[in-house]
Amino acid sequence: MYVPPGFNTITPYCFVRDAERFVAFLVEGLGGQEVVRSKRPDGRIANVQVRIGTSTVMASEASEKYPPMPAAFYLYVEDARQSMARALSAGGKLEMEVGDMPYGDRQGGIRDPHGNIWWISQRLVEAPYEA
């Protein structure tokens, strides 16, 4: 099985209203980098790929056939407090303050302007999660 560079076995694909604003949040708020974009004849985003760290998030402008669907994402970062501050300054709304969790992550949550929740997590231990 071939998976293109920058993609994982599962890649999130978001349908959102105002995809331009969503891409701006991914880039400005979460430190992403836009990689590829294609547009519809009306100029709206048909598909965009934004790389965040080692993963790619894909998005399209929502339509009647594919309405907006909020989702939740678990995002690993180097510094949870710094990343949360960046996401909040780019329009994210606080869902949960950053704190140290019993499972070894320093984590907080934000809701982006499109209703998606991003759990911003800094792994504090170099060990797998345990039940």
Range(s) of the domain holding residue 105? 13-123
Q: Is residue 31 in some structural domain?
A: yes
Q: Spell out where the chain has E strands.
A: 13-16, 33-39, 45-52, 55-61, 72-76, 93-100, 105-111, 117-123
pLDDT digits (tens, 9 = 90+) for 54-103: 999 999 999 999 999 999 999 999 999 999 999 999 999 999 999 999 99
Q: Name the domain count of the chain.
A: 1
Mean pLDDT of the chain: 96
Q: Is residue 21 in some structural domain?
A: yes
Look at the pTM and tell me if it is higher than 0.75.
yes
| Mean pLDDT lowest among 4-8, 24-28, 41-45 | 4-8
Cα angle for residues 78, 82, 86 (degrees, 5° grid): 115
CATH of the domain at 91: 3.10.180.10
